[in-house]
Amino acid sequence: MTGQDKFLDQVTALLPALRAFGRSLCGDPARADDLVQDTVLKAWTNRDQFQSGSNLKAWLFTILRNCYYSELRHRKFEIEDPEGVCAAQVAIAPDHDAKLHLRDLSRALQHLPVDQREALILVCATGLSYEEAADVCQVAVGTIKSRIARARDRLVELLGDDAAHITGTLPMTGAPTEAADNVSAQRSGAT
């Protein structure tokens, strides 16, 4: 009994992280808590498969993201997908038209393809290593890194130029900035 109690204690201690991971992934608090409930039940049912001493947090995150993917597949199927497209390709409301100027990070994350979103969250928010994130997503470390790079580029675009200007993430060389263009245009207009 002690072993099982310990397992439950550890799961209990990880509930806040699971809720945060679920919410970052799906962007909806109620839906996230449903995912966490499913995760806890699945973890309990399959607790024999968990190897004591290994990373319980990564194991639970794996279960949660699998629950999320399976939910996405069901939703997609209900809407329009009789052939079952790989959930990794499902992007919520893709918008390639223009910058959305989304100040809200949580909303901006929902504009990323889910595979990029989870890679970025796992490494940058949950504190998992690249290797652990790769295990959770069942892909190579290099894949995680390239997904993070694409997610970062898209978020910088979505969250607006202000942050990029402030932190100097715009190219330091090459074309002059739009602001500099405006200034020089005004000057040449004045003379």
Partner 1 sequence: MTRSMIMSEKIKLSERPADTALGSAPEHVPEWLSNRLRRMFTDVMDEPVPEEFRALLRQLEEKERGF
Residue nearer to partner 1 on the CB measure, 121 or 137: 121
Contacts of 191 (CB under 8 A, 6+ apart): none
Smallest gap from Cβ 77 to partner 1, in A, equals 28
Contacts of 161 (CB under 8 A, 6+ apart): 170
* Radius of gyration of the chain from its Cα atoms, rounded to whole angstroms: 21
Q: Which of 28, 20, 102, 109 is nearest to 61 (CA)?
A: 20
Residue nearer to partner 1 on the CB measure, 66 or 146: 146
For residues 1 and 172, give the distance between their C-alpha atoms in angstroms, rounded to a whole number: 61
Residue nearer to partner 1 on the CB measure, 87 or 109: 109
Smallest gap from Cβ 78 to partner 1, in A, equals 26
**Applying CB under 8 A, which residues contact partner 1?**
1, 4-5, 8, 11-12, 15-17, 19-21, 23-24, 33, 36-37, 40-41, 44, 105-106, 120-121, 123-126, 145-146, 148-149, 152-153, 155-156, 159, 163-164, 166-175
